[in-house]
Amino acid sequence: MVGETVPYDLLDHVVVAWNGSLEATRLIGQSITLLHEAARVTVVHARTERFEQARAADLCAYLRWHGIVAEAATLEVGDGTSVGAAILAEAGQRNASMLALGAYTHSRVREFLLGGVTRHVIEHAHIPVLMAH
């Protein structure tokens, strides 16, 4: 998905939103070659109820095994702030050239009715987004 503007170098700084879901795992598997070409990779992980099950440091170790040096960052999501908004804000603060995330972790009906990270990112991202389901 391409946002309003396309950066000069899409692979300058890729921010990966990680939650340990099957969709996020598929994203990593399908984009490992692309991540290998990135100048910089940051894995962000929002502190939610599943936080301890899927740590960003574990993904960074996996990426390092594939020759990709990635920085891990934990997002503190405040009350009233959506995880999608926190991820986009972090990507903006880090001057990300692209955001990568697993999409539609919840059913599409639930996402449509209640919203969710994928929906928020689709509606508000200003940078290119790579998604996998």
The rounded Cα 97 to chain-centroid distance in angstroms is: 12
Tokens of 57: 């440091």
| Assigned domain for 6 exists | no
**Structure pTM?**
0.86
Long-range contacts, stretch 59-65, CB < 8 angstroms, 24+ apart: 59/16, 59/18, 59/28, 62/28, 63/28, 63/35
For residue 42, the cross-strand partners are: 15, 71
pLDDT over 90 (residue 57): no
Q: Is 33 a domain residue? A: yes
Q: Identify the domain containing residue 72 by its residue range.
A: 14-132
The percentage of residues in the chain with a pLDDT greater than 70, rounded to a whole number, is: 84
Tens of pLDDT, residues 103-133? 876 555 544 544 588 888 989 999 999 998 7
- What share of the chain has pLDDT > 90, as a percent? 53
What is the number of domains present in the chain?
1
Residue 5 lies in a domain: no
pLDDT band at residue 44 under the 50/70/90 scheme:
very high
